[in-house]
Every structure is written in structure tokens, then in C-alpha cells.
Structure 1
Amino acid sequence: MDDFHPLHLHWKPRRYDRGPLVRDARRALSSADFAAEVAGLALLFVQKGVGRGDVVATMLPNRIDIVVAMFAAWRIGAAFMPINPALTSAEALYQAADSGSRLILVDAAARERLTGTTATLLPVDAPPERSAAVLPDAAVAADDTALLIYTSGTTGRPKGVMLSHGNIDAMLHSIHGALRLDGDLSLLVMPLFHVNALLVSILAPLAAGGGACILEHFDRHSFWQSVRDSGASYFSGVPAMYLLLTAERGAIAPAPRLRFAICGAAPMPAQAIGAFEARYAVPVLEGYGLTESTVGATLNPLDGPRRPGSVGRAMPGIEVAIVGEDGAFCPPDTVGEVAVRGGNVMKGYLRRPEDSAAVLVDGWLRTGDLGRLDGEGWLTLVGRKKDLIIRGGENIYPSEVEEAIMATHLVAEAAVVGRPDAVMGEVPVAFVVAPEGGDADALIPALQAEIEKALARFKRPVAYHLLDSLPRNPIGKIDKPALRQRLERAAQPATAP
């Protein structure tokens, strides 16, 4: 432990000015104020019974308190888990129970949804208990779990991705090597329950003598004013954000300190990148990664040439390869499964050894995404092996939505697929079969009402199609490609006779 000194646990005061280290709409904290709040909350955690190896969670919208809680948990050797505040009560309770959370920092809305949890619920606005005690930093090992981030699995139940302090340290070295951060200030627009926000917009700048300005949510109308007011030098977003910003009407005042923008979570059309760059004169660095790789794997270079349509080349310290169905590495320009290797690859899924073994093979992370590498190492994504739907950067697995629909007992069968969307990238659409003798006219409204209680808004289907039966392939499986084709045909304009 003595030889392990991770970047994220040794963040630096602001390097080039005396501005706040972190700020949001409520308040701003200097380096000294931030350190004092972390120490006070860490002591309060201990007084509430939290110890080394426990899990501390938050269920809050974007605010400084999430960052303070994360560092306070690490100070006492605990792991940190952010819970999406948009989750329903059932979803949040599952995550709290599955993770074994000892304490959850909450606001009033989260407290209500977490009724029944065995975890201690700590109000976010409760003042820390005052004490003269001095709490030393807990020593951490590279393999100690630092972050527990839940991501949907193919079985429909979210899985806890265990990211170690070593994973985070390796990822930060890769980010710093790729972006050459030096006192940069980030504008955080992604939700803080995403590893992207935590790593790219919080830990990376803080570890490089910079700072972070936290927005509670993305608002395309006020976004550029926020960039100018904050003095941010970069931000990270998803394709839907860039499309909305490009479509903004009227003149936009420049943001002279903005050096670059990062785009990830889903592929962005090359023409969309070009349109954004042409309008705002800000380079967009498209990259690729996933929670299991501690956010990153490839990135277009800061100093060109960039290749819109490609998600870039492997970041420093990371290897990327293409693997065929036989498990062998593929030659250049061959489509196969994207595999990632490096210190950034997760420890595994919490208490899911079989799921972990399925994706961690011979030191490589099998991503489930399909792509090809050219002879110079540029990665192009061509699809997904799994049926993941990415809606505005939010991951949705059809199986989870299908299970929720079937749990209503209102339908005989259900299948969910993604439908292309010009702004969100994809949206979920459900196909259902009514039970024999059921009231078809009343089915869809009743189903929508039940799903509103069962699933977070971003997971809910935007449309329901009632069919007599679901198409199936020769071996009896639901033919989802046929359902997607059905949606494509419906979207095509009619031709004149």
C-alpha cells in the first residue's frame, strides 16, 4: 500500500488562479473549503458506522455534495456508489440492496423512494457533527474497490461494475496523456451517476491542478452562457447534446477559453461532428469506452488529424483489438468484437463471477460491441453484439424493459427494440401481444400506466405496437431484426404510384 499513490487521492489546488476548486449553482468551494468538507463528512460517516470496505452511496441530482461524499468515502477506505435519482423506488431499492450499501446521502425525493432500505439514510443538508477528532486518511491498495457503478446486464437486472483505485489511476494517466490537462477547468454537463462525469469532468481536472463547474442538468438554451461564465476549457457530452446545440437558432457569442469538447456514449454521425465544429469552431474529440473500461478505450487525438466517423485510436496505456467468433484476433479491416486490455479494465461484476468470466477473457475485456480496426489502429464501430439501446447517452437493455412489461401480467408476449431518433440516437419501442380474450382497446393505456410506476422515464418505450403474434426465427426465438425492419418500413415515406 505504501508504494501506491493514485492521482485521484492526491488532487492538487488550482494551479493558475485562485478560483474555486468545485462549484455548482448553490455554492463554490476553494481547495481548503473542499478539503475541510471532505474531512468533516468522512468523520460523520465513521460516526454513523461506516468503515473500510463498506459502500457509501448518494441518490442526488448533480451537486457538489456528490463529489464531497465520494472523496469522504475514499478517505475512510469505503467504496462509493452513485445512484441515478431518476430511478423508481423498486429500482433504487434493488441497487441499494444488491450493493449492500451501508449509508446513502439523500434529498427528500430520494428518501421517499428509498423507504424500506436497510441502509442509513443521511439527509444531504444535515450539518456534519462537530468533533475535535482528527481522522487520518485510510491507506488504500490498488485492488481496493473505489467505485461501484451499476449498468444493465443482458439478464435485465443491473450489475455492479467494480472499479478499483488502480483502475481509476490508470484511466487518469491515460486521460492526462491524451488531453494534456494542465490546470484545465471542466464544465460538467453529464449526470454524476455516470463514470464519464466522475472521471472525465471531475477527477481528471482535479488531479491536474484544475477545477470543475457542475451543472445540475443540460439546457441547450443556457449552455453557452454557462461555458462563458465558468471559463471552462472543455466539456464532455453525448451526441444528443451536440445535435441540439447545433440546431440552436440565432447567433451564439464565442467562448474563447474553450479548447475542445469530448463526445462519447454512442456513435456520432460524421456530418453531425462537422456541423458542430463548423458552427462553433471547437474541435470535437469522439471516443469510445464503457463503464467496464473505467470510461475510456479510444479517442480521436487533440492535435489532429481527427477522423469523424471513427472513435479514434487506443488511448495511452490501453490496448484495443478485434476478436472473431473463434476467439482469435482478427486482421485489419475485419469486423469482430471489440476487446480492450489495460489497467483500466474493471475488477469484475459484484458477486457475479460467471458474468465476470464471460467478459474478462485472458486479460481482455470483451465489450460486446462490433467494430473494425484499420492498419493504423483507428477503430470504427459498426454495431452492437448485444441489443443495447442508447438513448441520449443512457443505456437501456431491452430485456429489462421486457421483464417489466411482462411483470404487469397485461400481455402475453413482449419484445423491445431500438428505433433511430434524430436527437436521442435511439428510443425504445415495444411490441406486445394481447392475452386471449383480453380487451385490446384498453391494453395500451393500462400498460403505459403500469410501466410509469415500474421504470425510470428514460427506459420507458415511446410507442407500443399491438400485434397478433411476434415474428420468430426458425429456432423459435423472437426475430428482433424483423421488428426493426417493420419500424424502418413505417418510417419510410410513401412513393407515388
Structure 2
Amino acid sequence: MNVTTRLAQIAKQLPDKEAYVFMGERCTYQQLYAAASRFADGLMQLGIRRGDHVALLLGNSPQFIISLYGALRLGATVIPINPIYTPEEIAYILHNGDVKAVIGLDLLAPLVDMAKQRLPLLKQAIVCETAQGKEKGIALSAGMKPFAEVLAAGDPAFAGPELDDDDVAVILYTSGTTGKPKGAMLTHQNLYSNAQDTADYLGINEHDRVIAALPMFHVFCLTVALNAPLMNGGTVLIMPKFSPAAMFTLTREEKATIFAGVPTMYNFLYQHEGGSAADLQTLRLCISGGASMPVALLENFEKKFNVIVSEGYGLSEASPVTCFNPLDRPRKPGSIGTSIKNVENKVVNEYGEEVPAGEVGELVVRGPNVMKGYYKMPEETAAALRDGWLHTGDLARMDEDGYFYIVDRKKEMIIVGGYNVYPREVEEVLYSHPDVVEAAVIGVPDPDYGEAVRAFVVAKNPGLTEEELLAYCRERLAKYKVPGEISFLEELPKNATGKILRRTLKERLTASHS
């Protein structure tokens, strides 16, 4: 089974059910499947074949969904790319990913045109016209095809090839902490199994209306807010861009039942003065992932909005979900929950041996969701996939009930005079201060202790002082864990999903000292 075959089944079972809603536009399953089939045929007419690589440079939109399912229906491999990446970042992925066709916004037409001249493999560029593009007078160069024309040229009765479960469906380029991004190859089985296992675990069904506010090019949205509901007859409520006010309005007007977001989104919602429990009263579940959610934020959010937040865990290499807090058993704040159906998680030492409950080690994963490997990177693949297990690089512990807790990234652990300091532990204390909105902790070189703890904070009270916050930390942390210095910023650097970038803080600090 794969996601496009399943979409065909749902279109037959629930033809008139809403598949998605986008800014007032409503599309049924029958219409969506027909559009995906037409687009697949349109791609084939342009010379795209099974196994060819097709990049998506699109934001949250119907075009993203149609392009994704259309390309997969043809048997092509989809490479979603963040459209706000720099030209250099985009060019690297197009080149490394051996991309044959690009589907992008007209705003990116000059960039795509430049890429076509430099990349011999890149044969086709399909462009989605936007109001901003028209305002700026962006003209399509010769050879660029408007998305609407490709869609109109296709046949809704397109049969498509038989797909193998082990065929690569998607290549997701992960923003690694060091070096160039790596392309995680996810098969049709990886994508479908994780969407269904996540849906089963969280009870996502045809009655759910799921907000897609996370970027669709990110695997969290792709699986949890797109594939999982569409594979089960739910409705996707597409937000072109996240904002607290827009999210509250959409939830009220469309009677949303599920919201999936990263901790930063929950923080923005919590801090937004116009929001109340009445705005979110139709939600049965909020899902958090992408980064660890501070316990203080989780508890404050649930209290203010009277809704359950289920924190989970995943990574691109696992399609991505491996754990979620269960809905039928006690939820443990601060935990990423238990292994979802068909997926195994365990905590191991440096020799790959499972450690006793309560001990910290590396989290490793196996299941039908685990990637095939990294594209054109055999050494990195061998390092990540060992003895049938995916090594995540995250430090974790498991309690006696089988609930897992992420302690921190293996590479971000700070060693102060031989003692391990996990940034998340210090961040949890900072977040518990009533005047702290956001916090991030990194390790910096120290001549005496090897490393020292450095904190960055966004405060809601401009009168909050460094000494006051340090005193607060001293009461709650061992001496070696207390930050040596706390800097106040107007905002913390984040990636497209809202994940706080500790790496960028380190780079800024290094640059300021050089």
C-alpha cells in the first residue's frame, strides 16, 4: 500500500467529503484525486518518468498537495525544499538531489531560471502564479510551464505505474548540525506506514479537521497534518502562514479538532492576548513535536485553553514519528510518550547495549518507518543505520512504564569540568520563571572548566535583570549548571518550523568575539 493508492480508496468511499479547505476554497476527495491524476499525466507529457526526481519549492497550498500526490502517483521521487532558503542552499539540493523538474512559486522564477542554466539534469520548471508575482511583474522565461496549464493538460483517468513499497517516494534534506544537508530517502512503505500508525495511535479519522499550520515541506506536517488525515478521510485545514490570531479564527470558523505545532507556536498562542479557551473549544487534541516542549509552557497552555497537548518525537530519518504520549493511558508531562504501533525505541550505551530504566543513553529506533539511507552518502548511511537500528543522535532515558524522555542532543551536551550539563534542563528552569518568554542554552569554551553554560533569554518584563535570573537559577540548579552569563534578546533565531537554533547563537557568539 502507498499514499496515492490509499487516496484512491478514500476518493471512492467518500467522494464528496472535504479533503481540504484553503482560504474559503473547498475541495472534495473526488476532486483532489482527479487533480492528482491529471497532474501526474501532465508531468508525464513533459517527459517526467518513474524514478525521476521532482523538487517542490512551494508553501502551504493546494498546489503543494496536488504536486505531491501527482508526482508520487507517477512514481517520481519528491524532494520538498523550503522556498525561503538562500539561492545557494536551494542550488545545493537541486544539484545533489539530481533534480529533473522543479515546481515552484513565480517569485522564485529568476532563481529557477538560473539553476536551469547551471544544472544539466534540470529539464522542466513548472511555475505557480501568485498575486505577489503579478504585482512585481515577474515574467516567466521560455520553457517555464504554468502550473494551471500542466494540470489542465492531464487526463483524470491516468492509470499510472505499479509502485513498489521499497521505491523511494521522498528525499528529505535534513539541516544537520555540521556540514551539508543529507538527503534522507523515505520509501512508499515508510511514508504510508508512519501516516497510518500515527493516525491509529492518535485516533485520527474521517471526523477530524486537522490544521496544517506547520510548513508542508517539513516532515512533521507532511505525515501528521497531511498524510495521516488524508489517508483516513479527514479534512486538512490549510494555513498559508501561521499566526496566533489566524489560528484562533480558523479553529472557530472551521471547527477544527486537531492542531499540530512546535513549542514555539504554542508559546506564541499562549502569549497572544486575544486568545481564550472559547477559541479552541472544538479541539480534541493538540500535538507538539519538532523540539522538546518546556513543561511549564505545556502546563500553562493546557490550563489557559483547557485542551490536552500530546507531546511526541520524531526525526526525518524515521518518517518521522516514533513516539507519542498515549491518549488511553496517563500522559506524563516532559515525556515524549511511548513507542507508536509497529515502531520500537530503546536507549543504548556506546556499545549498542540497552541500558537499565532511568539511565541516559542514545535513543535508537527500528520499524517500517525507518529510511532506506542517505542519498549518495554510503558512509553516513552506515553510521546512522547499524544492526537494523537507526541511531538518532539524541540522548534519552526510559522510565519503568516505558515512557521515553529526551534529555538533549548528543552533540549539544555541555561538559563543565567533567560534569554533563544538558541544555534542556537549564532551559526548563529558565522557562519556569514567570517573566521569561523564550530561552536557549549553549556551551561556550572556558579556559578553566573546558566549557561553560551560556543562556539567551527573551523576557516579557523589560525590568528583569541578569542577576535576578541568575539568582533564580542558583536556587534550582547545581552550581556547575548555572549559566555563567545570560544575554537578553528581542527574539531567538528559529528555522522555518519555529525550532530555536542553538547553532546560530553559537555562530553569532563566535563572530562577535573574532
On whether the aligned pair clears a TM of 0.5, the verdict is: yes
Select which of 56, 76, 84 maps to 2:82: 84
**Quick check: 2:4–2:69 contact (8 Å CA) kept in 1?**
no
Aligned to 2:127: 123
* CA distance in structure 1 between the partners assigned to 2:308 and 2:18 by the alignment: 26
* Structure having the larger proportion of residues in helix: 2
Q: How does 1:263-282 map to 2 (within 5 A)?
A: 263-282=288-307
Query: Is 1:352 aligned to 2:351, yes or no?
Result: no
* CA distance in structure 2 between the partners assigned to 1:292 and 1:244 by the alignment: 28
Report SS of the residue matched to 1:491: strand
CA change 1:486–1:286 in 2 (3 A) is closer
**Quick check: 2:219–2:320 contact (8 Å CA) kept in 1?**
yes
Select which of 200, 212, 225 maps to 1:177: 200
CA change 1:425–1:289 in 2 (3 A) is farther
* CA distance in structure 1 between the partners assigned to 2:481 and 2:202 by the alignment: 43
* CA distance in structure 1 between the partners assigned to 2:195 and 2:408 by the alignment: 28
**Quick check: 1:286–1:312 contact (8 Å CA) kept in 2?**
yes
AA at the equivalent of 2:224: V
Select which of 350, 353, 376 maps to 1:328: 353
**Quick check: 1:297–1:314 contact (8 Å CA) kept in 2?**
yes
CA change 1:302–1:214 in 2 (3 A) is same
Select which of 185, 195, 199 maps to 2:219: 195
Select which of 385, 390, 406 maps to 2:410: 385
**Quick check: 2:39–2:154 contact (8 Å CA) kept in 1?**
no
Deviation at 1:99, TM superposition (A): 0.6
Aligned to 1:54: 52
AA at the equivalent of 2:249: Q
* CA distance in structure 2 between the partners assigned to 1:483 and 1:303 by the alignment: 40
Aligned to 1:75: 73
Q: How does 1:27-426 map to 2 (within 5 A)?
A: 27-114=25-112, 115-117=114-116, 118=119, 119=122, 120-125=124-129, 126=146, 127-129=148-150, 130-131=152-153, 134-183=157-206, 184-250=208-274, 252=276, 253-387=278-412, 423=437, 426=440
* CA distance in structure 2 between the partners assigned to 1:335 and 1:148 by the alignment: 31
* CA distance in structure 1 between the partners assigned to 2:30 and 2:215 by the alignment: 25
1:255-296 Cα distance to aligned partner (Å, 9 max, x none): 443110100011111221111111111110001111111111
**Quick check: 1:260–1:282 contact (8 Å CA) kept in 2?**
yes
* CA distance in structure 2 between the partners assigned to 1:207 and 1:295 by the alignment: 16
* CA distance in structure 2 between the partners assigned to 1:255 and 1:271 by the alignment: 20
Report SS of the residue matched to 2:211: strand
Report SS of the residue matched to 2:259: strand
1:130-163 Cα distance to aligned partner (Å, 9 max, x none): 5585521221111111111110235420011110
CA change 1:122–1:473 in 2 (3 A) is farther
Aligned to 1:447: none
Normalising by structure 1, we get a TM-score of: 0.78
* CA distance in structure 1 between the partners assigned to 2:343 and 2:286 by the alignment: 21
Report SS of the residue matched to 2:115: coil
**Quick check: 1:293–1:345 contact (8 Å CA) kept in 2?**
yes
Q: Identity, % of aligned pairs?
A: 32
Supply the RMSD in Å over aligned alpha carbons.
Answer: 2.8
* CA distance in structure 2 between the partners assigned to 1:251 and 1:74 by the alignment: 39
Aligned to 1:411: none
* CA distance in structure 2 between the partners assigned to 1:48 and 1:264 by the alignment: 38
Normalising by structure 2, we get a TM-score of: 0.75
**Quick check: 1:176–1:204 contact (8 Å CA) kept in 2?**
yes
Report SS of the residue matched to 2:69: helix
**Quick check: 1:187–1:230 contact (8 Å CA) kept in 2?**
no
AA at the equivalent of 1:148: I
Q: Which of 299-308 and 351-360 deviates more?
A: 299-308
Aligned to 2:458: none
* CA distance in structure 2 between the partners assigned to 1:19 and 1:347 by the alignment: 34
Aligned to 1:9: 5
**Quick check: 1:13–1:21 contact (8 Å CA) kept in 2?**
no
Aligned to 1:405: none
**Quick check: 1:372–1:382 contact (8 Å CA) kept in 2?**
yes
Deviation at 1:223, TM superposition (A): 1.4
1:442-487 Cα distance to aligned partner (Å, 9 max, x none): xxxxxxxxxxxxxxxxxxxxxxxxxxxx65799xxxx665667999
AA at the equivalent of 1:147: V
Q: Which residues of structure 2 form unaligned runs of 5+?
A: 130-145, 415-429, 456-479, 489-514
